[in-house]
Amino acid sequence: MRRITKEFPGVRANDGIDLSVTSGEIHGLLGENGAGKSVLMSILYGMHQPDSGEIEVGGSPVRIRNPAVAIRLGIGMVHQHFMLIPNMTVAENVVLGFEPGGPLLRRQEIEQRVAQMAAEARLQVSPGTPVEQLSVGARQRVEILKVLYRRAQILILDEPTAVLTPQETEELFVTMRALRAQGKTIIFIAHKLKEVMAICDRMTVLRKGRLVGTVEVGNTSEAELAEMMVGAKVVPASRTEAAKIGEVVLRVTDLTVEGARGERVIDGLKLELRAGEVLGIAGVEGNGQAELVEVLTGLRRPRGGQVLLNGTDIAGTSPRAALDHGIRCIPEDRHKLAIIPDFSVQENLILGDHYRPPFKGPGSWLRERVIREFADRQILEFQIQTPSRETPVRSLSGGNQQRMVVARVYGQGRVPALVVAAQPTRGLDVQAIRYVQDKLLQLSDRGAAVLLISADLDEVIAISDRILVIYQGRLSETSGSPSRHELGLLMTGGRA
C-alpha cells in the first residue's frame, strides 16, 4: 500500500500511509484508537475506497472496489466481533455463501473438507457441532476457517485476542505460526504489546493517521512501541504504596441468579470486598459477570442470596436506590449502558445525579448555570477532548467517552461506597488504558471499594489487591500472586 490517503468529514483518517507486508510474514499493525489502523485495513479489504494512493498484491496493481474483489484476490478479514449464526454447525458457517454443489448440501462431504482444513491449520474444531455450543476461542477458530475456505493468502486479524484466555491465545498463536509456515501472510491488528512481541516478525506503527515507522521484533521493546504509538513514554499503572484496606463494604452470600431459560447463571456466589481495596474478578465472558453487575446495580433481581452494602441488604433494589446507596458503575458496553449518544457532554455528565441538588431546582427544573459550571470543571479535570460541553457525545472518540463515564463516577467529589468497573478499558488505546486504571486506583486510595471485572489478565494482575476467578457462575479463590497460566486454567474450569 503506497501513499494511502482517506478523509472523512473533518478527519483525515489516513495521511499518505505506506505499508509493505511480505509473503509468509506475521505483521503487527499498532496504534491508538483513531490512529487509522481499521480504516487502512478496511481499504485493503474493499470496505472503503482511498481518496488517493496505490495498492499492489503480488506485485500487480489492483483496485479493490468491495470485499468480493478482495476475496478473489486472496484477502480475508476476521473481524473483532464474530459474524456467525449460532444455531448452524461449524461446517455450515464455514461454507455459508460459498456452498459447494448448489442448494443441496452434501453435509458429510462438507464436514470432511472442513475437518481436513482444520487439521492442516492446527485448528481444533468439530465440524458438526452447533456454533452456540462453542467457547469464545473455538468460535474464533471458525472465523479463521471461513477465511481459509475462501482460499485467502493474506489474513487480516482484527484484535483477535481481545476476549481469549492465555491458553486460547497460545492456541491461536500455534495456528498463526502454522499458517505462516504454509506461506500465508497475516496482518495482526493489536493493542496488547506482549502478544505482538511474542508472535510478530515486524510491526508497523500509526499515530494520528500517519506512519510512524516499521520495526523488526528483535530490534525493539514494548516500551519503545508504546512510545511510538503515543509520542511519549508510557508507564504502566500500578500502586505506588500499599493499599489502606478498611472495613467490609460489600458482602455477597449464596447469590443465585437465573437466566432467561431458568438456568442458573450464578450459583451460590460468595465474596467480600473492603474499603480501599481493588478486588479483581477474572473470567471468560459469559460466566455470570454481566448478571453479577446487574444485581449489584439494581438492574436484575436475584433468585436468592444476600447482597449487603455496609450492612444493608440491597438485593432486588432499583437502579436509583443503588445510586442512592453510593454505588457507581463503569458498564462493559458504554454505548448501550453508560451514555446517551445524542445527549450533550454536559447532559451525560450529570446522569445519575440529575434528579437531586445541586442540579435539580424547584419542581422539575434543572439549574442550567450550575450544570454548565460543573461540566466545565469535569471536562478540564478529566481532560475530556471535546469542542464544547454542548457537543453530542456520539462525536467523541471512544477514549474520551470513557473519560466522561469515569468523570461521572467521581461525581461532585463524593467518594462512592462501591465502584463496579466492568471491562473498563476494553477497546481503549495504551494511554487511555493507563488513565482509567490510574483513576480506579485513586478511587480506592480515597476509600472506595472497587470491584474490577475484566477479561484482560494484564489489567487484573496490574491493579488488583486480590484476584478471584469466575467460571460458570462460581468464584475460585487465588493465593499470593497467581501467574497468567494459573489464572487461565481457572478461567476454563481447570485447577491451578
Query: How big is the chain, counted in residues?
Result: 496
219 and 303, same domain (yes or no): no
Inform me whether the pLDDT recorded for 230 exceeds 90.
no
Q: Which of 201, 230, 259 is the last residue of a domain?
A: 230
Q: How many domains does the chain have?
A: 2
Q: Which of 209-223, 238-252, 282-296 has the highest mean pLDDT?
A: 209-223
For strand 278-282 and strand 449-454, is the pairing parallel, antiparallel, or unpaired?
parallel
Inform me whether the pLDDT recorded for 126 exceeds 60.
yes
Is 492:167 a contact under the CB 8 Å cutoff?
yes
Gap between the Cα atoms of 375 and 368, Å rounded: 10
Inform me whether the pLDDT recorded for 48 exceeds 80.
yes
pLDDT at 490: 86
295 and 430, same domain (yes or no): yes
For range 261-276, the mean pLDDT: 92
Question: What CATH number does residue 443 fall under?
Answer: 3.40.50.300
222 and 354, same domain (yes or no): no
pLDDT at 327: 95
Q: Which of 164, 197, 230 is the last residue of a domain?
A: 230
375 and 286, same domain (yes or no): yes
In a domain, 19, yes or no: yes
Q: Which of 104-118, 217-231, 294-308, 416-430 has the highest mean pLDDT?
A: 294-308
Question: Bridge partners of 7?
Answer: 12
pLDDT at 391: 93
For range 107-119, the mean pLDDT: 87
pLDDT at 9: 79
In a domain, 240, yes or no: no
Give the per-residue SS3 of the chain. Answer: CEEEEEEECCEEEEEEECCCCCCCCEEEEECCCCCCHHHHHHHHCCCCCCCEEEEEECCEEECCCCHHHHHHCCEEEECCCCCCCCCCEHHHHHHCCCCCCCCCCCHHHHHHHHHHHHHHCCCCCCCCCEHHHCCHHHHHHHHHHHHHHCCCCEEEEECCCCCCCHHHHHHHHHHHHHHHHCCCEEEEECCCHHHHHHHCCEEEEEECCEEEEEEEHHHCCHHHHHHHHHCCCCCCCCCCCCCCCCCEEEEEEEEEEECCCCCEEEEEEEEEEECCCEEEEECCCCCCHHHHHHHHCCCCCCCEEEEEECCEECCCCCHHHHHHCCEEEECCCHHHHCCCCCCEHHHHHCCCCCCCCCCECCCCCECHHHHHHHHHHHHHHCCCCCCCCCCEHHHCCHHHHHHHHHHHHHCCCCCCCEEEEECCCCCCCHHHHHHHHHHHHHHHHCCCEEEEEECCHHHHHHHCCEEEEEECCEEEECCCCCCHHHHHHHHCCCCC
- The mean pLDDT of the chain is 89
274 and 199, same domain (yes or no): no
In a domain, 325, yes or no: yes
Q: Which of 168, 200, 230 is the last residue of a domain?
A: 230
Percentage of the chain modeled with pLDDT above 70: 97
pLDDT at 334: 84
197 and 269, same domain (yes or no): no
Is 158:144 a contact under the CB 8 Å cutoff?
no
125 and 205, same domain (yes or no): yes
Gap between the Cα atoms of 296 and 277, Å rounded: 17
187 and 299, same domain (yes or no): no
pLDDT at 240: 67
300 and 221, same domain (yes or no): no
Peptide bond into 100 cis (omega under 30): no
pTM above 0.95, yes or no: no
Inform me whether the pLDDT recorded for 188 exceeds 60.
yes
269 and 182, same domain (yes or no): no
pLDDT, tens only, 77-98: 988 777 889 888 999 999 888 8
Q: Does the CA dihedral 464-494-191-423 come out positive or negative?
A: negative
Would you place residue 257 in the very low, low, confident or very high pLDDT band (cuts 50, 70, 90)?
very high
In a domain, 396, yes or no: yes
pLDDT at 337: 87
294 and 179, same domain (yes or no): no
In a domain, 496, yes or no: no
Inform me whether the pLDDT recorded for 101 exceeds 70.
no
pLDDT at 468: 94
In a domain, 38, yes or no: yes
Range of the domain at 265: 248-491
Inform me whether the pLDDT recorded for 171 exceeds 80.
yes
Inform me whether the pLDDT recorded for 496 exceeds 60.
no
pLDDT, tens only, 436-449: 899 999 999 999 99
Would you place residue 104 in the very low, low, confident or very high pLDDT band (cuts 50, 70, 90)?
low
In a domain, 241, yes or no: no
Would you place residue 432 in the very low, low, confident or very high pLDDT band (cuts 50, 70, 90)?
confident
For range 151-169, the mean pLDDT: 84
Percentage of the chain modeled with pLDDT above 90: 54
For range 68-81, the mean pLDDT: 90
443 and 324, same domain (yes or no): yes
pLDDT at 495: 65
In a domain, 122, yes or no: yes
